[in-house]
Amino acid sequence: MKKFTWGFLFLLGAALTINALTYLNFDPRYGFLEIKKQAVASGYYLPFYYMHVVIGGLILLVGFVQVSTWFRNKWIRLHRALGKFYVYGVLFFAAPGGLVMSFFVDRGLAVLISFLAQTALWFYFTSVAVIKIKQGKIAEHEVWMWRSFALTLAAIALRLYIFFASYFFDLSQPIAYAIIAWASWVPNWLAVEFYFRDRHILRTKHL
């Protein structure tokens, strides 16, 4: 069941990444950008959109590889190289891009706070992961990277929730979109916290 779930998420992530890369045509009227005409017209939105969506799509796929214990043990040098791409991609492109894009969502204060909190924590978690690996604290680095990846996975969760919720709710209502926005990343983060908490408890019992 675990392998099936991760396999399914990886396929969704791959589809999301492929879609993100189609925006490299740099057409300001292409796809999602067509409904963001006002934001694009501001002159600020588009550069940050490409930073967040294109680089973020690649980061999403890299993240699946990076959290694989098998890959990490077998391809340690590649793991390190991809790890640098992931962390610096988040810190210098995807997170700053998402932060600026948050101000153009226009779905109410609760949604804005959700996206601002998510991007701030994404940046923070990833930064601490970099600090920990530079200090040689591998176990702590792993925990912080999982926290970071949990928020990266919000890209998949948000789109899944929007797809299914659109059949039952009016997502133009701020409260409906706010619930989805918060649900796309908070449960992911909590799942990681509970997982490592339980693993720590089990390890302590065996000492």
Answer yes or no: is pLDDT of 204 > 80: no
pLDDT of residue 68: 83
The model carries a pTM of 0.91
Q: Which two tokens stand for residue 106?
A: 């226009």
**119-165 pLDDT, tens digit each:** 999 999 999 999 999 999 999 999 999 999 999 999 999 999 999 88
The percentage of the chain sitting over the pLDDT mark of 90, rounded to a whole number, equals 68
Distance CA(157)–CA(163), nearest Å, equals: 10
Both tokens assigned to 72: 């990490």
Measured between alpha carbons, how far is residue 38 from residues 22, 43, 46, 87, 105 in Å? 21, 9, 11, 31, 11
C-alpha distances out from residue 55 to 21, 37, 129, 204, Å:
9, 22, 19, 39
At 202, is the pLDDT very low, low, confident or very high (cuts 50, 70, 90)?
A: very low
For 9-58, write each residue's pLDDT tens digit: 999 999 999 999 999 998 988 988 988 989 999 988 999 999 999 999 99
Distances (CA, A) of 206 to 131, 156, 173: 29, 36, 51
In whole angstroms, what is the distance from residue 32 CA to residue 159 CA?
13
